[in-house]
Amino acid sequence: MDSCLKFYRTHTGVRELATMSEVDERKSTQLDSLEARLRELENKYADLEKRYKSNPTNDKGKYAQSESDDTSTNEVTQRFRILVNRYDSSSGERKDFEPKDSDAASKDKQSTKYAWQLRKVIDQDEEDYSEIEIFGKPLRDLLQRLLHHYPYHLFLGDIVILVSPYEPLVHNWCLLYKETAKDGGDENEKIARNDLKEMMETIRQGSGDPKLDEYFKVRESLRASRSITFSNLWTIFPPGMLVYGRPFMKQPQVFIVMENDLTWPVFNPRSHTHKTWELGCFTYDWTGQRFKRRLIKLRIDSFEGQKPIATLPIQPWEGMEKANDIKKQLLERGRIFRKYCTLPSERRLFKYAGKAIVNRSGIRGVVPDMDRDMDDDTIIRRRNYLHRSIYPNDTSNTEPNYSTINSDVMIDFESFYKYGPPFSSIGSLQVDDEKGECDCFDCHKNQALQDNYRTRYDEKTGDECEEWEDLQFMLCAPRVLGYVLRDKTWAQLDVNLVNPIATGGADDAFMNKLKLAGPENGRNTKELLMGLVKNHGISESSNWSHGYQLDDIVADKGKGLIILLYGPPGVGKTSTAQTIAIAAGKPLFSIGVADVGTSAKLVESNLEKIFDLATSWKAVLLIDEADVFLQSRARGELGPTTERNALVSVFLRVLEYYQGIMILTTNQISQFDVAVQSRIHIAIRYEKLKEYQTWAIFKSFMEQYEARGLVDQLDTRMIERWAKGELPKKNFDGRQIRNIVTSAMGIARSAERKMNHDDLLNVVGIMETFKSDLAYQMMQYEDSQKSRFG
């Protein structure tokens, strides 16, 4: 039965994963077996002549016959040998040569077998390298026991082949060296330790791989100074090691090494420097449904000479300075990360203030053909595939798009993967759900390897009943993924800057600061709206008997809450939607024509995605200035058009099946389609501001400046009389009043003094002139339209 033997090979910047079958023990000659394997691997070999000359053949420890006749040693009569493989000009083929006789090709005697064999490959066109073949069962068993935690090298089969730079050996050099110093055990164990010692010494003194030989020349000095050179970076990052870095906004993070993409760095002949070296590592991330290890490639730019390991952007976690303090920080952040990721959708609204990494495409960055029924793993793979298709050679440290945010945010990994950027990242580094681990049976049953990679951390749900190890919390990503409600953009958010929204006085802005028409600033209207918005969520309860909704003849039809706020500009329609969302503890999801589009072909698809998000978040969906979606299909300023009619029809159809809360605002109700009326649950009319509303709005803005001492106290009474008597006559709306106050303050601050009455009068005069000119121009335009269309 064939066994899966996985091994790595690094040569000229390429890593290959090869699979070989068990070698038949009864092959006619050992030379035939070796030549067949050489054809499978490569026709290139390395030199050993200098090494061989320094190791005479009469050395008992190396060439003496085994005193044991035990068959478990595979009848080894000579411990090891060294060959040189090079091009033979006489035959025109590559052949093995004994170093002592470089002109005669090596010919094995059938009665001779070895515990191991080093072949140095000399290549005239590319770099020299070497390989070791292990034949002796005791040595093979010893390495299998010591390196069972190492990926791919399972040391199964009758012959094991290792290719330079011998990563399993170099990464575990100290462990193997300690083993060679042990005493005791049976005869096979003693033989195996002696074979291992000779093999390590041979590699150290002259492996046949020039780069590896250079490493061993400086290895001890590098270890003593805790330094490293760029070309030898791979030697300090064995698989399974914990490493430390700060790839996301300089936040500390711990990773598990999976593998290095290349051992020796690749030289770029154009720039005359080495390319960035990459290290594949596991981070611990949330997919939207469960926690999993995910692959990320960390990068180290090239540098000259030796560099202290402690100054590298990625460094081993063990032995780090202040590791205990960093661990406490990572544990605390990891617990917060787990909590935020697993909150129910109605509790994912947070306040964020600080820097974040944003994607400017917002809602319109949706992948059009993304299937909403796909599971989270498929979605992530599809998006990562798309990213690799767009940026196939993207290995540079691209600077992410930072932005300072002060807004409510929705934490939602699943929606981010579905509707956000086409790839998942931590900072500028792409995160891949394809971990690249070997799927063979032998690797799966290798518990030491599974423990080394912490595969047990996968498929965790984060439920409160789950027991997590400290390392799981430490591995958690320093960012959460979500949507910035004010900026309408998807973003990577720093976990430390995400804070709960203060609940105290949440309804104050809506009930007290918002100035609507009617007694007590429109209290009856406010209570009506608040009751509808707050109680709409009850109908979504699993206890159907507490809901108030009725079933339509058609399933899932008419179960939303559609509120229309109509009236002139600047009278509080948009402010009503904004403050009622805060008071009800719901996110305000504001969209406009730019988010939905105006093409009927795209509107339906985009609206469905937007409605899906709003329903998932239990948000108040605000469509401001909704005129374009609701204009009459029978007429218009320029007459009916097929495209506009299709747009309105699509909107009305999708609207009927929306199950969340939607607020529409408009100042053009006269142009609404007649079918809109049956879709609206309640419509609130807003009129021009009354005198007391104008004064109340003006006062609320002025009080903010007065509280900060920015208003001239000598003018306070004069400003109040003017605002109560003259300002209402100007017929300014709420937005204009705000602009008057802020512009007057701007004039005062530019003059380095406090705001006074004259500042307000100057701005009002300018605003009145603008209003007058605008009214005149509008009148001329309307007259020209009437003349044109009769």
Of 215 and 157, the one with more pLDDT: 215
Q: Which of 455-469, 504-518, 753-767 has the lowest mean pLDDT?
A: 504-518
Domain ends where: 650, 666, 685? 685
pLDDT of 403 reads 92
The answer to whether residue 620 is domain-embedded is: yes
Tell me the pLDDT tens digit for each residue of 561-570. Answer: 999 999 988 8
The closest alpha carbon to 734, from 589, 574, 622, belongs to: 574
Domain ends where: 663, 685, 707? 685
Residue 778, CB-side half-sphere exposure with 13 Å CA sphere = 6
The closest alpha carbon to 207, from 308, 376, 84, 360, belongs to: 84
Average pLDDT for residues 263-284, to the nearest whole number? 86
Distance CA 353, CA 334 (A): 20
Q: Report residue 468: phi and psi, to 5°.
A: -110, 145
Mark whether 738 and 589 lie in a shared domain.
no
The closest alpha carbon to 242, from 175, 315, 342, belongs to: 315
Report the number of distinct structural domains present in the chain: 3
Residue type, 322: K
Q: Are 518 and 368 contacting, i.e. CB atoms less than 8 angstroms apart?
A: no
Q: Are 359 and 365 contacting, i.e. CB atoms less than 8 angstroms apart?
A: yes
- Roughly how many angstroms between the first and final C-alpha of the chain, as a whole number? 92
Residue 26 has pLDDT above 70, yes or no: no
Mark whether 191 and 111 lie in a shared domain.
yes
Give the domain CATH number at 661.
3.40.50.300
Mark whether 518 and 659 lie in a shared domain.
yes
Mark whether 652 and 516 lie in a shared domain.
yes
Measure Cα distances from 597 to 630, 651, 679 in Å.
14, 11, 21
Residue 511 is classified by DSSP as: I
Residue 168 has pLDDT above 80, yes or no: yes
pLDDT of 77 reads 54
pLDDT of 598 reads 76
Residue type, 349: L
pTM for this prediction:
0.79
Of 69 and 581, the one with more pLDDT: 581
Q: Report residue 328: phi and psi, to 5°.
A: -60, -40
Question: If pLDDT is split at 50, 70 and 90, which confidence band does 492 have?
Answer: very high
Residue 461 is classified by DSSP as: -
Residue 33, CB-side half-sphere exposure with 13 Å CA sphere = 20
The answer to whether residue 390 is domain-embedded is: no
Mark whether 671 and 586 lie in a shared domain.
yes
Tell me the pLDDT tens digit for each residue of 698-735. Answer: 999 999 999 999 999 999 999 999 999 999 999 899 99
The answer to whether residue 572 is domain-embedded is: yes
Mark whether 514 and 602 lie in a shared domain.
yes
Percent with pLDDT over 70 in the chain: 78
Domain ends where: 152, 186, 213? 213
Q: Are 621 and 591 contacting, i.e. CB atoms less than 8 angstroms apart?
A: yes
Q: Rounded to an integer, what is the distance from CA 100 to the centroid of its chain? A: 57
Tell me the pLDDT tens digit for each residue of 651-676. Answer: 888 888 888 899 999 888 877 888 88
Q: Rounded to an integer, what is the distance from CA 595 to the centroid of its chain? A: 24
Torsion of CA 7, 11, 13, 16, to 10 degrees: -30
Residue 339 has pLDDT above 90, yes or no: yes
pLDDT of 545 reads 47
Which residues fall within 8 angstroms of residue 451, CB to CB, at 6 or more apart? 149
> Residue ranges of the alpha helices (H) in 708-756?
716-725, 734-750
Written as six digits, the tokens of 734 are 């709420």
Distance CA 360, CA 362 (A): 6
Distance CA 508, CA 360 (A): 33
The answer to whether residue 434 is domain-embedded is: no
Distance CA 48, CA 34 (A): 18
Of 290 and 271, the one with more pLDDT: 290
What residue numbers bound the domain in which 716 lies? 691-789
Of 248 and 262, the one with more pLDDT: 248
pLDDT of 630 reads 80
Mark whether 640 and 530 lie in a shared domain.
yes
Measure Cα distances from 306 to 229, 298, 428, 672 in Å.
5, 20, 27, 74
Question: If pLDDT is split at 50, 70 and 90, which confidence band does 364 have?
Answer: low
Tell me the pLDDT tens digit for each residue of 392-402. Answer: 444 445 678 89
Compute the C-alpha angle 756/759/761, nearest 5°: 110
The closest alpha carbon to 624, from 528, 735, 728, 699, belongs to: 735
Q: Label the pairing between strands 93-98 and 78-88.
A: antiparallel
Tell me the pLDDT tens digit for each residue of 171-200. Answer: 999 999 999 999 888 899 999 999 999 999
Average pLDDT for residues 321-338, to the nearest whole number? 96
Give kind and range of the element (H or E) at residue 646.
Answer: helix 642-656
- List strand residue ranges (DSSP E) for 64-156, in order: 78-88, 93-98, 101-105, 114-121, 129-134
Tell me the pLDDT tens digit for each residue of 494-547. Answer: 999 999 987 766 667 888 888 888 788 788 888 888 888 888 765 454 444 455
Tell me the pLDDT tens digit for each residue of 597-619. Answer: 877 778 888 888 898 999 899 99
Which residues fall within 8 angstroms of residue 578, CB to CB, at 6 or more apart? 588, 622
Mark whether 705 and 677 lie in a shared domain.
no
The answer to whether residue 342 is domain-embedded is: no
Mark whether 665 and 704 lie in a shared domain.
no
Q: Are 137 and 191 contacting, i.e. CB atoms less than 8 angstroms apart?
A: no
Three-class DSSP labels, 277-342: EEEEEEEEEECCCCEEEEEEEEEECCCCCEEEHHHCCCEECCCCCCHHHHHHHHHHHHHHHHHHHC
DSSP codes, 380-407: HHHHHHHHHHHSTT--S-PPP-EEEEEE
Written as six digits, the tokens of 559 are 């179960």
Distance CA 483, CA 498 (A): 12
The answer to whether residue 304 is domain-embedded is: no
Give kind and range of the element (H or E) at residue 484.
Answer: strand 479-484
The answer to whether residue 467 is domain-embedded is: no
Residue 53 has pLDDT above 80, yes or no: no
Written as six digits, the tokens of 494 are 């720093």
The answer to whether residue 400 is domain-embedded is: no
Residue 688 is classified by DSSP as: P
Mark whether 102 and 135 lie in a shared domain.
yes
Give the domain CATH number at 733.
1.10.8
**Is the previous residue joined to 478 through a cis bond, with omega within 30 degrees of 0?**
no
Mark whether 742 and 763 lie in a shared domain.
yes
Question: If pLDDT is split at 50, 70 and 90, which confidence band does 360 have?
Answer: low
Distance CA 374, CA 378 (A): 6
Mark whether 651 and 775 lie in a shared domain.
no
Measure Cα distances from 96 to 47, 52, 221, 677 in Å.
11, 14, 35, 91
How many residues are recorded in the chain? 790
Residue 30 has pLDDT above 80, yes or no: no
Residue 209, CB-side half-sphere exposure with 13 Å CA sphere = 25
